[in-house]
Amino acid sequence: MEKHVKTGVVALIGPPNVGKSTLLNHLLGQKISIVSPKPQTTRNRILGIVNGEDHQVVLLDTPGIHRARSSLNLEMVKIALDTLSEVDAIIFMIDTTFPLPEKIAVMSEALEKAKKPVLLLVNKIDLSSREKLLPILNAYGAFFPFRAMIPLSAKTGDGVDILMKELLPLLPEGPRMYPEDIPTDATERFIASEIIREKIFLLTTQEIPYSTAVVVDSFKEDETSGLITIHATIHVEKKSQKGIIIGRQGAMLKKIGQAARKDIVELLGAKIMLNLWVKIRKDWTKDGRFLKELGLG
């Protein structure tokens, strides 16, 4: 008979750019969710599986909840809110720079409707002081009946042990839902596309990152040499954006490709040949069919 452990599905939600993806990657010990200083980087719901001797926590890293205007952003917010009905517990994450709770009424409504136990995480304590932290905890404590409020640093890991100590009692006991050696349900193909998109976020500015979508057209491994050849297309909405992504004499596209290839090699532990193309797909952020192809519809 399979050993029963503390196991359950946990939603990781919160405003954009508070460190949700950084926390997920820290808990897993590897990158599966992209990280950028820019808000609204995560578009899809990323599933990460945290395994321990007595637990298996299935974490859903959702897009940041914000006031959406475009079709793309509406789908991102819908993904985040729909997640709450499927979980055993919720981690609501903010950081020490985030406004007080009256600014996020949409969050309060979503948390109350979910009727699930909720932990509050206050991230980036490595960048703040105790004097600044106490008013935040007091304000959020009055805002919602959190099971616990935990200051932590997703970057350094400080406070993560306390998070796990508070989280595990909220989960039911049962058999593991996934094999112990699987850190995510995301395919290598999907993670490769997300790494390419991360490099676009890190290396370009203004509206460019938000106007790009990455599709891996082919992902093939040579059985003899072990070489993995990846062909990917970066879709943009305008001719001017295509020029910026390619750069002078192809310099920016080369830079994106080199940075992405380095991370993909590290992730897969294999030789990688990465080929990138840039194509114009006018108004793709409003194209429902294409958004479905990206897993956002």
Same domain, 80 and 145: yes
Inside any domain, residue 250? yes
Residue 288 assigned ligand-binding role: no
CB 155 within 8 A of CB 125: no
Residue 297 assigned ligand-binding role: no
Q: What does each C-alpha distance from 143 to 102, 140, 218, 262 come to in angstroms?
A: 8, 5, 48, 44
Residue 16 assigned ligand-binding role: yes
Same domain, 64 and 193: no
Domain closes at, from 127, 150, 174: 174
Residue 51 assigned ligand-binding role: no
Inside any domain, residue 59? yes
Q: Largest alpha-carbon pair distance within the chain?
A: 62
Q: Could you please report the per-residue DSSP string of 66-102?
A: ----SHHHHHHHHHHHHHGGG-SEEEEEEETTSPPGG
Residue 126 assigned ligand-binding role: yes
* Nearest CA among 116, 106, 158 for reference residue 133: 158
Residue 48 assigned ligand-binding role: no
Same domain, 148 and 237: no
Count of the separate structural domains present in the chain:
2
Residue 91 assigned ligand-binding role: no
Inside any domain, residue 87? yes
| Maximum average pLDDT range among 96-110, 184-198, 261-275, 279-293 | 261-275
Same domain, 37 and 169: yes
Give the pLDDT score at 77. Answer: 53
Q: How confident is the model over 272-294, as pLDDT tens digits? A: 999 999 999 888 878 888 877 77
Same domain, 144 and 197: no
Same domain, 43 and 128: yes
Same domain, 269 and 133: no
Domain closes at, from 140, 174, 208: 174
Residue 275 assigned ligand-binding role: no
Inside any domain, residue 103? yes
Domain closes at, from 174, 208, 229: 174
Q: What domain range is 145 assigned to?
A: 5-174
Inside any domain, residue 79? yes
Residue 61 assigned ligand-binding role: yes
Q: How confident is the model over 244-268, as pLDDT tens digits? A: 999 999 999 999 999 999 989 987 8
CATH number at residue 139: 3.40.50.300
Residue 62 assigned ligand-binding role: yes
Q: What is the C-alpha separation between 87 and 65, in angstroms, rounded?
A: 17
Same domain, 213 and 121: no
Residue 14 assigned ligand-binding role: yes
